Amino acid sequence: MKRLLIKSVLTALLLAVVLCAGFTKTVSAEDDGTADTTGAADAVKAVYTAEDLLSIAENPAGSYSLMCDIDMAGVAWPAITFTGTLAGNGHYILNLNTVAVSQETRVTYDGNRKTYDTHFAGLFAILENASVTNVRLAGLDNTQTFDGDCFLGGIAGFASESTISGCEVRGTIRLDVDNGKMFGVGGIIGYGNAAIEDCISDVTLVNIDLDKDHRDEQYLGGICGAGYPDIAGCTITIAGFISDHGYVHSGGMVGMYIIYPKRFDRKGYMKDNNLTGFITFFEDNTNRRAYCTKDYGEVMDWKFTDSGNKYDFKRDERKDYSVNLLPHMCSDPQYEDVVIEASKENPGCTEHTCKTCGYTYRDSYTLPPHNFPDSYESVTEATVDAPGLAEYTCADCGAKIRREIPQLTPTPIPEPSPTETPKPTESAGNTTKDTGSKKSGTSPWLPIGATVLFITGGLLLAMTIVHKKNRREKLRKAKRRKR
C-alpha span between 452 and 113 (Å, rounded):
84
Bigger pLDDT: 220 vs 451: 220
Confidence label for 429 from pLDDT (cuts 50, 70 and 90): very low
C-alpha span between 174 and 188 (Å, rounded):
13
C-alpha span between 481 and 285 (Å, rounded):
136
Query: DSSP class of residue 424?
Result: P
**What distances in angstroms separate CA 482 from CA 208, 353, 422, one per listed residue?**
127, 128, 73
Instruction: Please tell me the number of Cα atoms within 13 Å of 324 on its side-chain side.
Output: 14
Check whether the bond before 410 is cis (ω within 30° of 0). Answer: no
At 119-167, the pLDDT tens digits run 999 999 999 999 999 999 999 999 999 999 999 999 999 999 999 999 9
Q: Determine the pLDDT at residue 33.
A: 35
Q: Determine the pLDDT at residue 436.
A: 41
Q: How many CB atoms lie within 10 A of CB 259?
A: 17
Helices (H), 107-176: none
Q: Determine the pLDDT at residue 67.
A: 96
SS3 271: strand
C-alpha span between 444 and 20 (Å, rounded):
9
Q: Determine the pLDDT at residue 411.
A: 81
C-alpha span between 225 and 260 (Å, rounded):
13
At 244-268, the pLDDT tens digits run 999 999 999 999 999 999 888 888 9
SS3 58: helix
C-alpha span between 362 and 263 (Å, rounded):
42
The residues pairing with 281 across neighbouring beta strands, listed in sequence order, are 242, 317
With residue 15 as reference, give the H or E element that holds it. Answer: helix 2-17
Residues 6+ apart with CB under 8 A from 337: 350, 351, 352, 353
C-alpha span between 16 and 210 (Å, rounded):
84
pLDDT (average), residues 358-379: 90
Q: Determine the pLDDT at residue 350.
A: 97
Q: Determine the pLDDT at residue 361.
A: 93
Q: What percent of the chain has pLDDT over 90?
A: 63
Distance of CA 245 to the CA centre of its chain: 39
Q: How many CB atoms lie within 10 A of CB 134?
A: 17
Instruction: Please tell me the number of Cα atoms within 13 Å of 70 on its side-chain side.
Output: 25
- What angle is formed at CA 175 by the lines to CA 310 and CA 337, rounded to 5 degrees? 75
Bigger pLDDT: 416 vs 231: 231
C-alpha span between 472 and 197 (Å, rounded):
97
SS3 4: helix
Phi and psi (nearest 5°) for 9?
-65, -45
Confidence label for 396 from pLDDT (cuts 50, 70 and 90): confident
Q: Determine the pLDDT at residue 357.
A: 86
- Single pTM value for the model: 0.78
Query: DSSP class of residue 56?
Result: G
Phi and psi (nearest 5°) for 331?
-70, -30
C-alpha span between 263 and 253 (Å, rounded):
23
Confidence label for 424 from pLDDT (cuts 50, 70 and 90): low
Q: Determine the pLDDT at residue 345.
A: 87
C-alpha span between 425 and 150 (Å, rounded):
74
Give the closest residue to 315 by CA, choosing from 294, 338, 342. 294
CB 268 within 8 A of CB 239: no
Confidence label for 109 from pLDDT (cuts 50, 70 and 90): very high
SS3 203: strand
Q: Determine the pLDDT at residue 413.
A: 79
Burial class of 282 by CB neighbour count within 10 A (0 to 12, 13 to 18, 19+):
buried
Bigger pLDDT: 365 vs 429: 365
Phi and psi (nearest 5°) for 287?
-95, 65
CB 70 within 8 A of CB 89: no
Q: Which amino acid is at 425?
A: T
Q: Provide the sign of the torsion angle of the four alpha carbons 211, 212, 218, 223, taken in this order.
A: positive
C-alpha span between 172 and 181 (Å, rounded):
23
CB 374 within 8 A of CB 393: no
Bigger pLDDT: 74 vs 449: 74
Q: How far apart are the first and last CA of the chain?
A: 28
Q: Is the pLDDT of residue 4 over 80?
A: no
Residues 6+ apart with CB under 8 A from 16: 449, 452, 453, 456
Q: Give the mean pLDDT of the chain.
A: 85
Give the closest residue to 186 by CA, choosing from 138, 260, 114, 242. 242
C-alpha span between 291 and 77 (Å, rounded):
33
At 55-94, the pLDDT tens digits run 999 999 999 999 999 999 999 999 999 999 999 999 999 9
Q: Determine the pLDDT at residue 405.
A: 85
Bigger pLDDT: 216 vs 450: 216
C-alpha span between 199 and 134 (Å, rounded):
8
